[in-house]
Amino acid sequence: MRFTQLTLTLVTALAAEGAPPANSNRATYLDWSTFKANGVNLGGWLHQEQAIDPVWWDANGGAGLLDEWDWCANLDIDKMAAAGISVLRIPTGYNAWVHVPDSPLYTGSQTRFLRTISDYAIRRYGIHIIINIHSLPGGVNNLGLGGREGHHDWFNNQTALDYSYKTVDAAIKFIEESDFPDKFTLQPLNEPVDNPAAFGFPDALTDAGAAWVLSYFRGVLARVQATNAKIPVMLQGSFRPASFWSPDFVDTDNIVFDVHNYYFAGRPTTSANLPKFLCQDA
């Protein structure tokens, strides 16, 4: 494997009078024969190359993986199935489903790979797939994983909500277009938090925040029911318990609650007593 490092020497030509405006008839095009460049190549940023960061590739793709093409074929699904795994929760960003104009997050072929992975797991092993929309526009919980570090601007923002529903519609379409719509559950939100100081605890979601989340849950449920009511909707209601949410739904709603227990947050948990806590919560 050869790794070429380019060091360019950059021009001084523009420095003299600054860059002319694009529409100026004084525009001067670059003459590479005289151009003295002093630049840098941003390799491994938008175009992944194993040789640029082999340590990261070995750690994340597995030793010996040489390109992105094989990364996506080199799945661990076989190992998981052998270990008895029957459900996969696959977090996705909203940007995998929709492009939001003011978001710098990449929207590309994520769903194509999601299709490959989920088809394989379903066909080969009958594994059930939970499609999780982990982030939403504006950020849902002040964490990077929720869309944006330091932001929970998704709350009370109608534009962000409209894009969230577009995200949901795209995910429903993905499930419906599958050969196995019965092998999916849709989870439209993860750990919504509008009071980050209480992260991990019920107060992480204020009453106003809970009202916003509930209206989103209802909107998602209505969309799923209008398309295919047999697709289960999994609700992750921050750190409020299932008993907080369940009175807002009726028995015929096809929902399941996903409860996140943060054993490290405020509970006297150690590796020795963790099983006891797990059993208590089960």
Report in angstroms the alpha-carbon separations of 169 from 31, 87, 156, 219, 250: 50, 23, 20, 11, 23
Shortest spacing between CB 98 and ligand NAG, in angstroms: 11
Residue 43 is encoded by which pair of tokens? 């390799």
CB under 8 Å to 212, separation ≥6 — which residues? 155, 156, 194
Give the binding range for ligand NAG (CB under 6 A) out of 10-18, 70-78, 156-164, 208-216: 156-164
Of residues 120 through 139, those in contact with ligand NAG by CB under 6 A are: 137-138
Nearer of residues 156 and 228 to ligand NAG, judged by Cβ: 156
Nearer of residues 137 and 237 to ligand NAG, judged by Cβ: 137
Nearer of residues 61 and 137 to ligand NAG, judged by Cβ: 137
For ligand NAG, which residue of 153, 169, 203, 253 counts as binding (CB under 6 A)? 153
Number of residues that bind ligand NAG (CB under 6 A): 9
Tell me: does residue 157 bind ligand NAG (CB under 6 A).
Answer: yes
Shortest spacing between CB 155 and ligand NAG, in angstroms: 10
Give the binding range for ligand NAG (CB under 6 A) out of 67-75, 151-159, 211-219, 248-256: 151-159
- Nearest residue to 138 via CA among 193, 187, 92: 193
Nearest-angstrom CA–CA distance, 171 and 191 = 19
Residue type present at position 26: R
Residue 169 is encoded by which pair of tokens? 């519609």
Nearer of residues 25 and 158 to ligand NAG, judged by Cβ: 158
Shortest spacing between CB 100 and ligand NAG, in angstroms: 5
Give the binding range for ligand NAG (CB under 6 A) out of 6-14, 40-48, 157-165, 198-206: 157-165
Of residues 201 through 260, those in contact with ligand NAG by CB under 6 A are: none
Give the binding range for ligand NAG (CB under 6 A) out of 24-32, 155-163, 212-220, 238-246: 155-163
Residue that has been written with the tokens 């969309």 in this structure: 223
Nearer of residues 102 and 177 to ligand NAG, judged by Cβ: 102
Nearest-angstrom CA–CA distance, 106 and 143 = 18
* φ, ψ (nearest 5 deg) of residue 234: -100, 125
Nearer of residues 101 and 275 to ligand NAG, judged by Cβ: 101
Of residues 162 through 191, those in contact with ligand NAG by CB under 6 A are: 163
Report in angstroms the alpha-carbon separations of 60 from 66, 85, 103, 190: 12, 21, 26, 24
Chain Cα centroid distance, residue 236: 15
Shortest spacing between CB 153 and ligand NAG, in angstroms: 5
Residue 65 contacts residue 57 (beta carbons within 8 Å): yes
CB under 8 Å to 172, separation ≥6 — which residues? 186, 223, 224, 227, 228, 231
DSSP run (H or E) holding 110: helix 110-125
Binding site for ligand NAG (CB under 6 A): 100, 102, 137-138, 153, 157, 159-160, 163
